A and B are shown apart, each in its own frame.
Chain A
């Protein structure tokens, strides 16, 4: 079996696992597969992200994609490449500046956030006809995912899984107290930078699915919902993954029948699950 035939193999398998009308067209099979790659990767990174209180950071990276795409179109390079590259650059820059200033992380991110948006708007306003290109990135376009993009998303899931397997414990320790983590032998700076880069990689890839405006939700909402019901680290992680996958698949199915934007529908399902877990939590408290 070659790499190129891998999607075909998975599609025929999916036909048997999901014998539903919505899963029949090829573009729907691709969308489902893309979601099965992206949702767990985003939720897995989201667990330590929420632990670090870095939701705003992920939002800033998401919005940097706006500028990344504009740069790509300006240079005549594929926007996906510049989007990922620019997202990685902004993540690295924020982490570096954050470590060298007395300013709070919020403030540093806020400055970067507005700077990259301003740069993006400046480029787009100077280039007529760019707006049409941006639509797909602002709202996501899961139904138009190409075979190459699918492979890229599959690779992302593997990279994120491997990274977290190696670093998860130390990242969580770092989130509890930096000085204490250091005394336990955690390489603080290396972990901070590498985690920021992995978040940037996930965010820029997930934009294809749900768009710039909603990408943070894919990382934050499942982890936040899991917190409502989980007591320990084990359940917090797996509940987040399950919520991401369930809302991803139900969102795709619902958007097919309701003719709504796929990304937005997925996020709405995740938000509904968040509300449900919050209510469950309230019931157990009493």
Chain B
């Protein structure tokens, strides 16, 4: 676990985002450490996705985001992989999974067909996350979980320095299986990219994350996972009554039970 001790991949300093006169994020100070898994947790509307978009440079912000590339990754700007929560494209779009992958792997337009190289690369890319059987399926007919895996396979293909992963609310997907399951943990331990993971499943967070950033428009707390997921911090984030319930053996895994009064969109702005 000690790669380059506490070398930062990403330093966020005094970051604020305003949209439509409302402060979505304010005064964010955070570091993403090299090679570690950092979980970003907080209620809906806490600004988690906005923070990812700021890192990608897709929303205007004040403050600073500094990328520090570790020497062993070579020169140049760091590569950022991104897996969005969901795609809001037209589900009727005539586009197969192979078409979609070829969009970013071959130079000439996909309307002229797929090169043997891009077909082979697509199959390898998909196989890495175990979805190569989907290659000729229409993109719009896939489940949310399948789509996220395909996006993940693409993000991993380019060997990112940082991977930003925006998990959907658990239970939204029929497969019921979070994206951060064992295979991603395995890929991560092989490739050692820095992972910033938005997760709603605190059992996933407590099992896989090295560090946790608790966010609700501002930083509530950040630090090592074991120290952060305390009843006090959860209450500060989700409101009173929230608690982590341990299921099974005392391995720290558990699910967040939201407070009885504030469920659903029980994340009323402060």
Contact = CB atoms under 8 A, between A and B. Distances in A.
Interface of A: 51, 53, 102, 164-165, 168-170, 172-173, 175-180, 182-184, 188, 226-227, 230-238
Contact of A172 (B84, B96, B110, B113): B110
B204 interface: no
Contact of A168 (B56, B84, B111, B154): B111
B58 A176 contact: no
Contact of A232 (B20, B95, B103, B106): B95
B100 interface: yes
Nearest to B160: A183
Interface of B: 19-20, 52-53, 56-58, 80-84, 87-90, 92-96, 98-100, 102-104, 106-113, 138-139, 151, 154-155, 158, 164
Contact of B80 (A177, A183, A233, A234): A183
Contacts of B98: 232
Given A182-B56, A236-B95, 12 more contacts: A172-B110, A173-B104, A176-B89, A179-B52, A179-B53, A180-B151, A231-B94, A231-B96, A234-B99, A234-B113, A237-B109, A238-B111
Contacts of B110: 168-169, 172, 233-234
Main secondary structure of the interface of A (DSSP, over half): helix
Given A169-B102, A169-B106, A230 B81 contact: no
B100 A232 contact: no
Contacts of A231: 94, 96, 138
A194 to B, nearest CB: 16
Q: Which 5 A-B pairs have the closest CB atoms?
A: A183-B82, A237-B111, A168-B109, A236-B94, A233-B99
B92 A165 contact: no
Contact of B58 (A165, A179, A235): A179
Q: Which of B53, B88, B94, B158 has the most CB of A within 10 A?
A: B94
15 contacts: A51-B89, A164-B109, A177-B88, A178-B58, A179-B84, A180-B84, A184-B104, A227-B93, A231-B96, A233-B95, A233-B111, A234-B110, A234-B111, A234-B112, A234-B113
A20 B14 CA distance: 74
A232 B139 CA distance: 9
A108 to B, nearest CB: 15
A179 B96 CA distance: 20
A233 B88 contact: no
Name, among A53, A172, A231, A237, the residue most crowded by chain B CB atoms within 10 Å (CB to CB): A172
Contacts of B99: 232-234
Contacts of A179: 52-53, 56, 58, 82, 84
A177 B111 contact: no
Nearest to B87: A177
Contacts of B158: 184
Nearest to B102: A169
Nearest to B95: A233
B239 to A, nearest CB: 28
A235 B94 contact: yes
Contact of A173 (B52, B103, B164): B103
B160 to A, nearest CB: 8
A186 to B, nearest CB: 8
Contacts of A232: 94-96, 98-99, 138
B235 to A, nearest CB: 32
A258 to B, nearest CB: 34
Given A164-B109, A183-B80, A226 B94 contact: yes
A230 B94 contact: yes
B103 to A, nearest CB: 4
A191 to B, nearest CB: 13
Contacts of A227: 92-94
Contacts of A178: 58
B94 A165 contact: no
A227 B140 CA distance: 13
Contacts of A102: 19-20
A164 B106 CA distance: 14
Contacts of B83: 180
